[in-house]
A and B are shown apart, each in its own frame.
Chain A
Amino acid sequence: MLPFDFDYFKPATLKEAVDLYRDLDQRGKKPMFFSGGTELITLGRIALAYTEAVINIKDLPECKVMHVSNDQLLLGSTLTLTKIEEANLFPLLTKIASEVADHTARGKITLGGNICARIFYREAVLPFLLADSKVLIVGPEGKKMVPINEVFKEQLQLKKGEFLVQVATETRFIGAPFIGIKRRQQWDTGYPLITIAALKLGRELRVAISGLCPFPFRSKELEASLNSDKPVVSRIDEALSKLPTPILEDVEGSANYRLFVLRNLLSDIISAFGKS
């Protein structure tokens, strides 16, 4: 139970949602778009999140799409991770999404909610960073379709009143060989230490990482090192020298331990793809 009261709205259209946000914001209500709502419910309970107006976008038709057309897979932002997993239209996304939280919780957590989460893992974004996907964002200035690698800088760069509607991915990326690995300190149910997603496009290896830094990322510099013609150990050494900072140091693992795990993950991925 949340210890504060708020107004609750369920708009029927994207425009209505955007207009509601603007009006509520002008009235100082600190409005919040709500999809799965798990962060508001869990963080709000312990006074780490607060709003006076919730705008539930979960049932907006544009946010619930899941289909392939014109060589593009369209996934709505309010699809639950369970629905995405059961449909299995993007196997790398299925692999990564199926290890977020637990099965029942994934029936509430949504794609957009995970990508835009405050909690730093945001693993569902990794496959889209690798596949150069595009995101449809709606806001006070209307709709815009933009490459995710241009607008996801540590987190999705949304302006006030904007929200994520869909993610579009070209089908040529969906069938590419992939690897998704999640390492935890404790069994299969602990919080993540590092999650790594890799995609092989011809001779090119792409990797995106969550849990290493306080944000998920894909680094072109790191990939250039991994794709060079040097011996594997040198490639990995060079890649590790190009990581963003800071490296996380928390109860799940020290910075040095995370780097140790990452080194092994990169080695496993290169080996599995037969580049060694």
Chain B
Amino acid sequence: MKSHTILLNINGEKRSVIVRSGDTLLYVIREKLGLTGAKPGCLNGDCGACTVNVEGWPMKSCLMLAVEANGKKVITIEGLENTPIQQAFVENFAFQCGYCTPGFIMNCHSLIERHPDAENPLIKEWLESNICRCTGYAEIEKAVKSVLRKNQSRE
């Protein structure tokens, strides 16, 4: 019972993988599945660089055991393709060194999907989960708001 075969629905693919009970989801998606987009930062649930999406919610993958994700739908940055938030990050220069970017994008993507009508307090609450050491916060805020505005104007 110290190792387990788990089934992940990751980025739309079903992947079977053998994990230790003590392996975090972050470790497994990077080292066993080769998906290196989620970044190891603090490994303590503080920085948000490892954020992925689990069952539609943002999740710090360093705070989740891989065995907990068994049977769940997981999306990493590699699973997003030309989404509006990715384009908005480019248009708004919302990254500098880029290390925090996958985590920020996954969190922003979940916010936009779950709360298309999000206003300032909610945006602030969600985005406080991620840290950008280059302090690119203003541009990140512009990027997420630009997507929300476009979506709202279409409705």
Report whether chain A binds chain B. Answer: yes
Which chain A residues have a beta carbon within 8 Å of chain B's beta carbons?
Answer: 1-9, 37-38, 41-42, 44-45, 54, 56, 58, 82, 98, 101-105, 107-108, 188-189
Q: Which residues of B contact A9 (CB under 8 A)?
A: 1
Q: How far in angstroms is the closest Cβ of chain B from A99?
A: 10
A1 touching B45, Cβ below 8 Å: no
B60-79 vs A, CB cutoff 8 Å, 1 = contact: the mask equals 10111101100000000000
Q: Which residues of A contact B129 (CB under 8 A)?
A: 102-105
Q: Which residues of B contact A101 (CB under 8 A)?
A: 45
| Bound form: Cα–Cα A114–B67 in Å | 22
A1 touching B60, Cβ below 8 Å: no
| Bound form: Cα–Cα A98–B125 in Å | 9
Given that A5-B20, A5-B21 are contacting pairs, would A45 and B43 also be in contact in the complex, using a CB cutoff of 8 Å?
yes
Q: How far in angstroms is the closest Cβ of chain B from A136?
A: 24
6 pairs, CB–CB < 8 Å, chain A vs chain B: A1-B22, A1-B23, A2-B22, A5-B21, A41-B45, A107-B59
| Bound form: Cα–Cα A41–B50 in Å | 15
A-B contact count (CB 8 A): 83
Given that A104-B58, A107-B57 are contacting pairs, would A6 and B63 also be in contact in the complex, using a CB cutoff of 8 Å?
no
Q: How far in angstroms is the closest Cβ of chain B from A260?
A: 26
A42 touching B44, Cβ below 8 Å: yes
Is B126 part of the binding interface, using a Cβ–Cβ cutoff of 8 Å? yes
Q: Which residues of B contact A54 (CB under 8 A)?
A: 21
Choice from B21, B27, B48, B130 contacting A8 with Cβ under 8 Å:
B21
A41 touching B67, Cβ below 8 Å: no
Q: Which residues of A contact B44 (CB under 8 A)?
A: 42, 45
A41 touching B48, Cβ below 8 Å: no
B2 touching A7, Cβ below 8 Å: yes
Q: Which residues of B contact A42 (CB under 8 A)?
A: 44-45, 63
Choice from A1, A105, A107 contacting B27 with Cβ under 8 Å:
A1
A5 touching B22, Cβ below 8 Å: yes
A8 touching B67, Cβ below 8 Å: yes
